[in-house]
Structure 1
Amino acid sequence: MCGIAGVLMRAGRYPDPEQLRVMAAALAHRGPDDRGAYCGGTVGLAQTRLAIIGLATGHQPMVAVEDKLALAANGEVYNYLELNEELRAAGRVLRTDSDSETILHAYAVHGLGCLTRLRGMYAFALHDARSGQLILARDRLGIKPLFYVKLPDRIAFASEIKALLPCLPGRPEVEPGALRRFLQNQFAGGEETVLHGIRRVLPGEALVLQPDLSIERHRYWSALAVAPRTIGVAQAREELDRLMDTAMQEHMRSEVPFGLFLSGGVDSAVLAAQLHAHGAGRIRSFSVGYRGTTMADELDEAARVAAHFGFDHQPLELTLDQVFARIPHTVWAADELMRDYASLPTSILAQAAGDELKVVFSGEGGDEAFAGYRRYHPRPLERWFKTLRHPGSGGFRTRGQWSRHWSQRLFGPRLGAAPGLDRAPFLAAWAATPAAWSAMQRRQYTDLVTALPDNLLVKTDRMLMAFGVEGRVPFLDHRVVEFGLSLPDQLKVRGHRGKWLLRHWAEPLLPPGHLERPKRGFHVPVGDWLTGDLVGRLGERLAANRGIREWFKPAALPALVAARQAGRGGERELFGLMQFAIWHRIFIEEPGLIPAPDEDPLEWV
């Protein structure tokens, strides 16, 4: 697991080693173990390394002199052992124990066709000096991030946006439409980010950058190719058993110890059972709960699962002050504007795990693959009503996060006039789905290409990597996702409960009664914190913030504060404004500023 960055310069220009150093320094948290750079012609590559596989021989960027190839890679190619056997049979000589070297040789043999052979989570830049091309590629589900910006004399890329800021010719500019989508959708997804000109490489995509800085897109995987299946329970159980067995064997490949985040829910409990069955032994597990709040947590359930499988368990019981002191650091870590409250406890878990581990398993993806969320199977009347009011997505993802009342009163002129529909990413995803799919499959797919890569996996990657921890997510093995998406609806939902097949398959593996608990989710007691005098002080800070004054109407803030203090909503609006104010300071006003893990959020507004 690493951070990568680099540039492709226009012909006649050459990369600046000092700029590569600065870009790499911005990614030091992603790779505290090693750092390297490569300059070849018009291409410069940099990498910061978190050593997990090939500890002694995995220095990057890697260069294959005989093939005139150079590589900077982030992530893991889990099936590298199997691929290496094939590559040796084809006459390739592998010189390291690193899974990243597999990418170099696979490309030398198969060209871009190598991408369909890689299984894992990765983002990489590969320089082919013979053709002059630079290839930027990202894994199928978007587990690992990759951003780029096209400038007149170069294309620069990096694992995180903060490493691209030194390349910009002037002050970073906010993209109005993306900012509004963040406020309304919780995240701003797709190619466009909230910073003008900075774009994402999409999941399942490779960009081929030509010497003249033109860009060719190569889509090597899409969930749209998944065909619905007619399959019975017995066969589905057998297939799921084989898939999870293979996925776990590959995901457990590591030369360093690993642990597990235990939420007390189904998905992390399934991973606990699988790790135990595959001989993980007495690994470290971590869970989080809260003190001084009315919100229930899952510490007891997590401890019960850990005891059942003999793990060395560490529960973290947090105060509200501990949780919300993470706000500035999580805004910095995320890079992107993304309002997932769970980033706060995830950051604390990551720091605790990072004190002793480099790898942690986590249950992200189980709900998307096996239809665990209630929103995938709404009641017919609810679906009909939402479709009638907001057509285009089958009644799915129809309502903005901000109330119409507050958006009308608080959005400034440029924000209110921003082009494009806030729901555009969801509408486009829904429209792309095959006619043979059910509404449930369409809902799963829409999340798989929007909320999953641009919200949930931002939290998983950035919060963990901020403390040098790699998160492994076996439910997002693309074969598991394809299997789950292809299942008939009746194997996903029964009795209005989701993930039916996964529960049915896992029941014999888990502590008795564990699956009888209702789905609770990874909640955070924001409402208990955002109250009283704190809201008033926050409102005063927001009114004076440069970013808020530029994009919103500060005159409406007292009414929002009063509504929140009176218990009449406003929680999401205030939290979103606070995040934007802090983000604006870190990424627009003072790039390079890094909050400590525990800060007073009001001091950063």
Structure 2
Amino acid sequence: MCGIAGQVRRGGPVDEASLASMSARLTHRGPEDTGYYISHHASGSFGIAHTRLAIIDLAGGHQPIFDRDRRYAIVCNGEIYNFPELRAELEAQGRVFSCDSDSEVALQAYAAWGRDAFKRLHGMFAFALYDHQQRELWLVRDRLGIKPLYVAVVGDRVLYASELKALLPQMPSLDLSEAALAQYFQNQHSSGRDTIIRGIQRVMPGEALRIDADLRIERHRYWSALDVQPRAISQADATAQWDELIGQVMREHVRSDVPYGLFLSGGVDSAVLLALLSQHQSEPIRTYSIGYADVQMKDELDDAARIAQRFGARHTPIRLTRQAVFRRLPRVVWSADDLMRDYACLPTLALAEAASRDLKVIFSGEGGDEAFAGYGRYRPGWAERQYKRLRFPGSGGFRVRGELDDAWVGKLFVPELQPALAAHRAPQIAAWSETPRHWSDLQRRQYTDIVTNLPDDLLVKGDRMLMSWSVEGRVPFVDHRVIEFGLSLPDGLKVSRKAGKVFIKQWAERYIPHDHLWQPKRGFHVPVREWLGGDFIRGLADRLPRNEAIRRWCQPQAVRALLAGDTAAHSREIWSLMQFAIWHRLFIEQPQQTPSAEEDPLQWL
């Protein structure tokens, strides 16, 4: 797991100092090694940079990697899981490898097969591949967006990097997108090509960008979940296919030259992963779970410990206090990079910190609910579905409500932002509208989450919180073959009137107790509502209305009224404003600042 960055400059040389500055902002993603390469031409130049966290080929694998003729150069973030099979095929064709890194397989595959190679790669990856002969650069992102990649056209240059923070010092101005900001407040995150910073875009999941010396950009979509065809299949046949598929997926995912562990919640997906991982490792699996001290909300530590004991895991439970959670907020905001509010980032960062003392690779269960329809929002009653479809057209009654109280939305934010707030559902409506009409309502709901909430919230949380502590996260349920399999299943195999994720639960009964699998879904909750109050709120009321971001985008008097009222009832509104204020300080006002592991969040307002 690594960080990549670079530039394409028209009519002049890439400045090595600026390239070094970009990569320096990514050292948390790869603290073990750094590499640069610049290719100069009369028409322009190409620069690539890499920071490395060594997982495969520890002794070799320094990047950039070149082929024998030095026509191609690559820097890669992530893992190509099927690299042994592809390497054997490429060597049989006469390709000569210089090291044992999985990243070189992506280079050699492109040299052999051109852009058809991208769809042959299994894994999570974002890479930049430079072709000296054609004087072009390819930026390629994995199918589901597990690994991040951003790009910006700035005057005579194209900039790219794994995280926004590497691009910000190179931008001529840091202006916010109203649409993305509104989506943050109402959806927890922004979705689509455009980011919160005007002029910086995401390379989309399943996309490859070709950039030439004249800065022309061609976009190629090499994979889409829209190509999945629903099918009629029996439970028995689906189970037989799943046995074979998940066996192959796990054999590929456990490939590592360093030990791995697992984030274990009290839910289904991580329990299934523990059962599967136990089949591939003779030593006890290292597992980590989190709970909270002095709160009324029940956590998942007991359920996690029970599953860990069942599989003989070497288990580490962690119980966080209110202070420990709140003091991680500045680091969470910095780590998340993109502007997003997901309470689960707080415990995930604490888990990553604990795991980093022992391991460099952690598995987690993201994607299981999207692949196999685990969320309650996927199976609303008929009356609810019809009402929401009529009341909120465009997405079949799915994802219709914003995160914040409607009464406060009109009061809290400046008039300039109100049109964008009213249009916050645009990404969900766009995703819904592109789904095939022969898909079921359930499949359309799954797809909408797969292209919005999954890459722009859950996978951001998983990648950034772990990489903040130089830990690689692996998510087998987000393997494109698992997503394709789950999306294609008939509705009746995935959901019942009382439960979601029926197929995977029935399959997992061979490993996991029935009562654990079929208990109501709780999610990865954080007791923020219980904790907001007292001296913290008084300090927030003093500082937040005076914050630069709040004064620019909000009505300070309304913010004061919010903080003087029922703070428990409006914890989402309060937390969203506070997190935005901290993000603005870190990324807009002082983009070179890096908070330590624990800080007083009030000091960052």
If the TM-score is normalised by the length of the shorter chain, which range does it land in? over 0.9
How many residue pairs end up in the alignment? Answer: 601
Query: CA separation in 1, counterparts of 2:106 and 2:560?
Result: 56
Aligned 1:337-376 pairs, distance under 5 A: 337-376=339-378
1-structure distance, mates of 2:106, 2:489: 32
**TM-score normalised by the chain length of structure 2:** 0.98
1:520-599 to 2 correspondences below 5 Å:
520-565=522-567, 567=568, 569-599=569-599
Do the aligned residues in 1 keep the contact of 2:505 with 2:518 (CA within 8 Å)?
no
- Whether 2:35 is the aligned partner of 1:36: answer yes
Q: CA deviation at 1:511?
A: 3.8
Of 98, 106, 110, 1:103 maps to 106
Residues 1:59 and 2:59 are matched in the alignment: no
Distance 1:138 1:328 in 2: 28
Name structure 2 gaps, 5 residues minimum.
Answer: none
Change in CA separation of 1:280 and 1:9 when aligned onto 2, cut-off 3 Å: farther
**Which stretches in structure 1 are left out of the alignment for 5+ residues?**
none
Q: Which amino acid is 2:17 matched to?
A: E
- Corresponding residue for 1:69? 72
1:55-454 counterparts in 2 under 5 A? 55-66=58-69, 68-170=71-173, 172-418=174-420, 421-454=423-456
Alignment check: 8 A CA contact 2:183 2:421 kept: no
Does structure 2 retain, via aligned residues, the 8 Å contact 1:2–1:50?
yes
Shift of 1:515: 1.4
Q: What is the letter of the counterpart of residue 482 of structure 2?
A: V
Decide whether the 8 Å contact of 1:54 with 1:255 is kept in 2.
yes
Q: CA deviation at 1:67?
A: 5.1
Q: What secondary structure, in the 3-state scheme, does the structure 1 residue paired with 2:194 have?
A: coil
Q: Which residue of 2 aligns with 1:17?
A: 16
Determine helix, strand or coil for the equivalent of 1:437: coil
CA shift, 1:173, in A, is 1.3
Q: Distance in 2 between matches of 1:417 and 1:360?
A: 42
Cα deviation for residue 533 of structure 1 reads 3.7
Deviations 1:466-487 (A, max 9, x none): 0000000001111111000000
Tell me the distance in 1 between the aligned counterparts of 2:363 and 2:244: 19
Match of 1:277, SS state, is: coil
Q: Is the 8 A contact 1:122 1:143 kept in 2?
A: yes
In the TM superposition, what whole-angstrom CA distance separates every residue of 1:16-51 from its partner, at most 9, and x where no partner exists? 111111111100000011111111121111100000
**Could you report, residue by residue, the CA deviation over 1:50-103 in whole angstroms, capped at 9, with x for unpaired residues?**
000011110001122515111010000000000001101111011211000001
* Structure 1 position 539, deviation (Å): 2.1
Identify if the C-alpha distance between structure 1 residues 591 and 499 changes in structure 2 by more than 3 Å, giving closer, same or farther: same
One-letter identity of the residue aligned with 2:442 = M
Compute the RMSD of aligned alpha carbons. Answer: 1.2
Partner SS for 2:112? helix
Query: Retained in 1: the 8 A contact 2:68–2:96?
Result: no
> After the TM superposition, which of the residue ranges 414-423 and 572-581 deviates more from structure 2?
414-423
CA apart distance, 1:419: 8.7
Distance 1:314 1:418 in 2: 44
Distance 1:561 1:513 in 2: 42
**Residues 296-320 of structure 1: CA deviation (Å, up to 9, x unaligned):** 1111111111111111100001111
- Alignment match, 1:6: 6
SS in 1 for 2:3: strand
Query: Does the Cα contact within 8 Å between 1:365 and 1:475 map onto a contact in 2?
Result: yes
Which whole-Å CA distance do the structure 2 matches of 1:195 and 1:486 have between them? 36
Question: Which residue type is aligned with residue 62 of structure 2?
Answer: H
Secondary structure of the residue that 1:513 maps to in structure 2? helix
C-alpha distance in 1 between matches for 2:475 and 2:419:
39
The one-letter code sitting in structure 2 at the alignment partner of 1:56 is: A
Closer, same or farther: CA 388–94 of 1 in aligned 2, 3 Å: same
What is the CA deviation profile of residues 540-596 of structure 1, one whole-angstrom value per residue up to 9, with x for unaligned ones? 21111011101111011222112224x5x3211111100110011000100110111
Deviation by residue 1:168-209 (Cα, 9 ceiling, x = unmatched):
124x11111110111011101111111110110000000111
Amino acid at match of 1:222: S
Contact 2:67 2:98 in 1 (8 A): no
In the other structure, the counterpart of 2:480 is 478
Q: Are the structure 2 counterparts of residues 147 and 78 from structure 1 closer, same or farther at C-alpha, using a change threshold of 3 Å?
A: same
CA distance in 2, matches of 1:412, 1:457: 31
CA distance in 1, matches of 2:9, 2:445: 41
Alpha-carbon distance in 2 for matches of 1:250, 1:205: 23
Secondary structure, in 3 states, of the residue corresponding to 1:497?
coil
Change (3 A) 1:132 1:378: same
SS at match of 2:377: helix
SS in structure 1 of the partner of residue 185 of structure 2: helix
Q: Is contact 1:531-1:564 (8 Å) kept?
A: no
2:385 is aligned with what amino acid? Answer: R
The SS at the match of 2:510 is helix
Distance in structure 1 (CA, Å) of the matches to 2:398 and 2:282: 40
Supply the distance in 2 between the matched residues of 1:579 and 1:263 (Cα, whole angstroms): 25
* Deviation of 1:513 (Å): 3.1
Which amino acid is 2:448 matched to? T
CA contact (8 A) 1:535 1:564 kept: no
> Does the CA contact (< 8 Å) of 1:270 and 1:506 recur in 2?
yes
Q: Residues 185 and 401 of structure 1 are in contact (CA less than 8 Å); yes or no, is this contact kept in structure 2?
A: yes
Contact 1:79 1:119 in 2 (8 A): yes
Q: Distance in 1 between matches of 2:132 and 2:566?
A: 59
Give me the whole-angstrom Cα distance separating, in 1, the residues matched to 2:29 and 2:369: 27
Does the CA contact (< 8 Å) of 2:67 and 2:97 recur in 1?
no
Q: Deviations over 1:192-235 (max 9, x none)?
A: 11111011000000011121111101000000000000000000
Instruction: Give the alignment's TM-score, normalised by structure 1.
Output: 0.98
Q: Aligned letter for 2:578?
A: M
Q: Percent identity?
A: 56
Residues in 1 aligned to 2:344 and 2:406: alpha-carbon distance in whole angstroms: 25
